Amino acid sequence: MENILYDVKNIKETLPRVAFHTLGCKLNFSETATIARDFDASNFQKVSFDSPADIYVINTCSVTDNADRRLKGLVKKVLKQNSKGFVVAIGCYAQLKPNEIAAIDGVDLVLGASEKFKLIEYLQDLTKKDLGEIHSCEIEEVNFYESSYSLNDRTRSFLKIQDGCDYKCTYCTIPKARGVSRSDSLENIMNNAKKIALAGSKEIVLTGVNIGDFGKGEFGNKKHHHTFLELITSLDSLDLIKRIRISSIEPNLLTKNIIDFVAKSKSFVPHFHIPLQSGSDKILKNMKRRYLSSLYVDKIIQIKTLLPHACIGADVIVGYPGETDDDFLETYHFLANLDISYLHVFTYSERSNTEAAVMGDVVDKIIRSKRSKMLRALSIKKRRSFYESHLGKNFTVLFEEKNKEGYIIGFTENYIKVRTPWDPSLVNTLYKVELEKIDEAGYVRFVNPR
């Protein structure tokens, strides 16, 4: 028996070690997890990204300049762990700028939007390269759909339902990185949701590039065979799933019928993340967004009327070309007076091959930074006010799996972040609590768990 165990240990130690790291959005996380599952345990040994590995896979993002710089930092980091490690870059940045990435010292392989799902096929030779090898097709050729979902965190899984985008927002590179809008089939999504639930996840987060456009391209053409409302209605019928959360959804696609349905749903939680980008109609028009500020206000009112405890987040871009002080203050006051719960603030950065990058009236980077700080401060106030308005009320917390500095972290259905001293028995459990107070770190503490 000892010899058998020893042989198994030796075999495992000789398997190529592979490590994964994801930059960017929930969609990237779902795809990284799916690609990683292709690395069967009998042929590869999966290890932490912070440890020596034979293969390092980095799923890149190109929403901001910071994500680009982080890639270079990660490559340096892994080569310190293993100078002979084979470094692979996949994802949006890899599709948009393959030559730039291939030229980064230490990168050996760059795979585009289609090729990333065939990663194993490109790993026959793990010899370090002087210049990264590129396999990438034109984005116009990327018209197939790859189902994806994550199972890395037992308490929450990201389920991809849609990919690509047909919108033409002037600042955005995503259509060039991911292609046209296309959707998974309703049948596949339902089957994947069942797999996730049976694997032990208590919460599913629906993700994609433009999830409100779900149904377009479901069977390889531009028609809508199903709608997003039909999808969430079907998912709500699955008794296996405790919680379903909608990730970012465009305000013009968040219909009253969808809001009405969530309000009466048994599985969908009262949490919406709705991109705004600007409170100035002038800027929204210049961005080629498909709504004006008045429509956004209407959506918030509809949600809060039916779901007064709902958490609502918003994306905002500051420093867009031509944004004057008055335009920014219009956005600031618009948000300050709006019944939302938090902000994701993005400082505008020029992205090549976008309309906005060649516009005049460039906003100085120092001004961009100041405006960003003002909105981030507003977001802190908004979140605290939202938390305070729910103290003394009862909610259900889903606890995460990690021990963070002696605490276990969890989220209520309406996305209030709570913590309590570490207790492993709480991991992946739904716990009814009374919210008591906000602690020094900004988390909510609770009493009377039951």
Outline which parts of the chain fall under CATH 2.40.50. 394-447
Question: If you average pLDDT over residues 422-428, what whole number do you get?
Answer: 93
Q: Which fold has domain 2-137?
A: Rossmann fold (3.40.50)
Residue 141's pLDDT is 81
Q: What is the pLDDT of residues 261-279, one digit of tens each?
A: 999 999 999 999 999 999 9
Q: Between the CA of residue 215 and those of 30, 218, 237, 314, 404, what are the distances in Å?
A: 19, 5, 19, 24, 39
Q: What is the pLDDT of residue 247?
A: 93
Instruction: Kindly report the pTM of this predicted structure.
Output: 0.92
What integer best gives the mean pLDDT of the chain? 92
In the predicted structure, residue 445 carries a pLDDT above the cut 80:
yes
Q: Which CATH number fits domain 394-447: 2.40.50, 1.10.10, 3.30.465, 3.40.50?
A: 2.40.50
Taking only the tens place, the pLDDT of each residue in 364-417 is 999 999 999 999 999 999 999 999 999 999 999 999 988 999 999 999 999 999
Residue 218 above 90 pLDDT? no
Q: What is the mean pLDDT of residues 423-447?
A: 94
Q: What top-level class would CATH report for the domain 156-382?
A: alpha beta
Residues 6+ apart with CB under 8 A from 195: 149
Bigger pLDDT: 192 vs 129: 192
- Residue 217 pLDDT grade (very low, low, confident, very high; cuts 50, 70, 90): confident
CATH 3.40.50.280 domain range(s) in the chain: 2-137
Angle in degrees, CA 82, 87, 90, rounded to 5: 150
Instruction: Give the per-residue pLDDT at 62.
Output: 80
Give the C-alpha separation, 422 to 388, whole Å.
24
> Regarding beta strands 86-91 and 55-60, do their DSSP bridges make them parallel or antiparallel, or are they unpaired?
parallel
pLDDT computed for residue 5 by the predictor:
43
- What pLDDT score was predicted for residue 64? 64
Provide the 3-class DSSP secondary structure of residue 437: strand
pLDDT (0 to 100) of residue 301: 98
- Return the beta strands (E) in 81-226 as ranges: 86-91, 107-111, 133-135, 156-160, 162-163, 182-183, 203-207
Q: What is the DSSP letter of 242?
A: S
Instruction: State the Cα–Cα distance between residues 320 and 363, nearest whole angstrom.
Output: 7
| Residue ranges of the chain assigned to CATH 3.80.30.20 | 156-382
378-392: pLDDT as tens digits: 999 999 999 999 999
Q: How confident is the model at residue 7 (pLDDT cuts 50, 70, 90)?
A: very low
Amino acid identity, residue 103? A
Q: What is the pLDDT of residues 312-360, one digit of tens each?
A: 999 999 999 999 999 999 999 999 999 999 999 999 999 988 999 999 8
Higher pLDDT, 236 or 153: 236
Residue range 118-151, pLDDT digits in tens? 999 999 999 998 899 999 888 888 878 999 999 8
Q: What is the mean pLDDT of the segment spanning 210-217?
A: 93
Mean pLDDT calculated for residue range 149-170: 90
Residue 449 pLDDT: 58
pLDDT of residue 448 exceeding 60, the answer is: yes
Contact between 57 and 22 under an 8 Å Cβ cutoff? The reply is no
